């Protein structure tokens, strides 16, 4: 008779089919726990649909369903006012859901903003990636309006805020502005030297990067800074000491990765820190066995991954954990583009979008 300890050293199986069901179920019937996050529905959809994509199971969505999602995404695009285009010029882009703007209807013909409506940089980023993931060529994206809104979102210190008149600004939204500019192949809305100076000023004494100058090093802001510099080819010249930055990232692994010193490991940093190490070109230095063991301990019985072991799984940690496993070539998971945070398939599809197809790459420093 087998004892309970016979399989103690056997690696836990990656529950591929359960994760597919987890994302599909959440996409069809968003759990009520997310009702307070309705303004971020675009990003929740990004976790689900991009999750299915990197699991190579996007085909669980019918072509008709994909088209319906594409129409919903475009319905969240805020265009300039037809009669007075300069009035709402600073707020153009994509909102997170119809909750903050015009009520959604498949038959709607107008996507003009309503009072207090604002596009959001993070939602614009995830909307563009979602459209590419679903097979759209971005032909209905109002590039001129989106790029024209970016200067209103950049602060004097080079950082970006998420939406017009917001008091919040940090490294996250700088990254989003860079990715949006890259996807749309137009850098004219960003003051690159100011942004790069902000990034350089945010590298801390321990060589990690914070959300801004004099702030604590953090895994998420370090990723955003490194990925942003990678997009403009300034990684080698703008990080004070790349070797020490790599050392800081590697030291975040305790089993899984922690986001800051003296914090417990958290599954989402398998992407934030892992992708940073990947961009820096030294992912082989990660302890794969310990990392995978931690992530499998956070794998939910119904699919998905949780922040920590024995905690209920959620969409963000499910997507980020699976993305992190991609870097270790876990069977059943597609390869990722660490800089854009999407599958390699999607980053290649970008080359066929209307802003890249047969056109020269826009030079950020022209």
pLDDT in tens, 23-36: 999 999 988 889 89
pLDDT at 89: 82
- pLDDT > 90: percent of the chain: 82
Q: Which residues of 87-107 are buried (b: 16+ CB within 10 A; e: fewer)?
A: ebebbbbbbbbbebbbeeeee
Q: Among 22, 30, 73, which Cα is nearest to 51's? A: 22
Query: Residue 289: which residues within 8 A CB-CB, separation 6 or more?
Result: none
Question: With 90 as the cut, is the pLDDT of residue 323 above it?
Answer: yes
Residue 143 to residue 330: CA distance in whole angstroms: 37
Q: What is the pLDDT of residues 177-195, one digit of tens each?
A: 999 999 999 999 999 999 9
Least confident of 196-200, 339-343, 360-364: 360-364
Q: What is the pLDDT of residues 93-118, one digit of tens each?
A: 999 998 766 666 666 545 556 667 88
Q: Which residues of 180-211 are buried (b: 16+ CB within 10 A; e: fewer)?
A: bbbbbbbbebbebeebbebbbebbbeebbbbb
Question: With 60 as the cut, is the pLDDT of residue 91 above it?
Answer: yes
Between 111 and 212, name the one with better pLDDT.
212
Question: With 70 as the cut, is the pLDDT of residue 315 above it?
Answer: yes
Q: What is the pLDDT of residues 35-47, one digit of tens each?
A: 899 899 999 999 9
Question: With 50 as the cut, is the pLDDT of residue 2 above it?
Answer: no
Tell me the CA end-to-end span of the chain in Å, nearest whole number: 72
Question: With 50 as the cut, is the pLDDT of residue 139 above it?
Answer: yes
pLDDT at 6: 41
Q: What is the pLDDT of residues 242-281, one digit of tens each?
A: 999 999 999 999 999 999 999 999 999 999 999 999 999 9
Question: With 50 as the cut, is the pLDDT of residue 137 above it?
Answer: yes
Residue 202 to residue 106: CA distance in whole angstroms: 44
Q: What is the average pLDDT across 145-157?
A: 97
pLDDT at 106: 66
pLDDT at 4: 38
pLDDT at 11: 65
Question: pTM, whole model, 2 decimals?
Answer: 0.94
Q: What is the pLDDT of residues 43-86, one digit of tens each?
A: 999 999 999 999 999 999 999 999 999 999 999 999 887 656 56
119 touches 149 (CB < 8 A):
yes
Three-class secondary structure assignment of the chain = CCCCCCCCCCCCCCCHHHHHHHHHHHHHCCCHHHHHHHHHHHHHHHHHHHHHHHCCCHHHCCHHHHHHHHHHHHHCEEECCCCCCCCCHHHCEECCCHHHCCCCCCCCCCCECCCCCCCCHHHHHHHHHHHHHCCCCCCCCCHHHHHHHHHHHECCCCCECCCCCCCCCEHHHHHHHHHHHHHHCCCCCCCHHHHHHHHHHCECCCCCECCCCCCCCCHHHHHHHHHHHHHCCCHHHHCCCHHHHHHHHHCCECCCECCCCCCCCCCCHHHHHHHHHHHHCCHHHCCHHHHHHHHHHCECCCCCECCCCCCCCEHHHHHHHHHHHHCCCCCCCCCEECCCCEEHHHHHHHHHCCCCCCCCCCCCCC
Q: Among 215, 243, 139, 229, which Cα is nearest to 179's? A: 229
pLDDT at 266: 98
The overall average pLDDT reported for the chain is: 92
């Amino acid at each position: 008779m087998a004892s309970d300890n016979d399989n103690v050293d056997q690696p836990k199986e990656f529950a591929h089919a359960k994760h597919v069901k987890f994302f599909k179920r959440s996409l069809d019937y968003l759990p009520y726990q997310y009702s307070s996050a309705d303004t971020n529905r675009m990003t929740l959809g990004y976790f689900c649909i991009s999750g299915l994509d990197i699991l190579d199971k996007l085909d669980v969505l019918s072509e008709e369903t994909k088209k319906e999602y594409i129409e919903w995404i475009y319905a969240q695009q805020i265009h300039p006012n037809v009669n007075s285009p300069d009035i709402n010029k600073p707020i153009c882009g994509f909102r997170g859901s119809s909750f903050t703007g015009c009520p959604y209807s498949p038959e709607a013909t107008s996507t003009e903003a309503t009072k207090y409506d604002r596009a959001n940089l993070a939602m614009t980023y995830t909307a563009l990636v979602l459209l590419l993931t679903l097979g759209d060529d971005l032909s209905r994206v109002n590039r001129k309006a989106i790029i024209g809104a970016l200067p209103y979102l950049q602060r004097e210190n080079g950082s970006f805020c998420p939406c017009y008149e917001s008091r919040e600004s940090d490294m996250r939204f700088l990254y989003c502005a860079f990715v949006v500019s890259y996807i749309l192949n137009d850098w004219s809305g960003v003051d690159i030297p100011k942004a790069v100076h902000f990034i350089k000023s945010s590298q801390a004494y321990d060589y990690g990067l914070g959300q801004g100058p004099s702030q604590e090093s953090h895994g998420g802001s370090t990723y955003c800074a490194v990925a942003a510099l990678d997009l403009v080819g300034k990684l080698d010249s703008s990080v004070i000491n790349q070797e020490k930055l790599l050392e800081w990232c590697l030291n975040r692994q305790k089993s899984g990765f922690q986001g800051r010193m003296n914090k417990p490991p958290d599954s989402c940093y398998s992407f934030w820190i892992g992708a940073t190490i990947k961009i820096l070109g030294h992912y082989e230095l990660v302890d794969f066995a310990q990392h995978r063991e931690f992530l499998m301990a956070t794998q939910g019985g119904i699919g998905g991954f949780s922040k920590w072991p024995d905690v209920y799984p959620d969409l963000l940690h499910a997507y980020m954990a699976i993305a992190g496993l991609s870097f270790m070539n876990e069977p059943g998971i597609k390869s990722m583009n660490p800089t854009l945070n999407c599958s390699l398939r999607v980053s290649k599809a970008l080359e066929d979008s209307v802003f890249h197809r047969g056109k020269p790459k826009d030079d950020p420093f022209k």
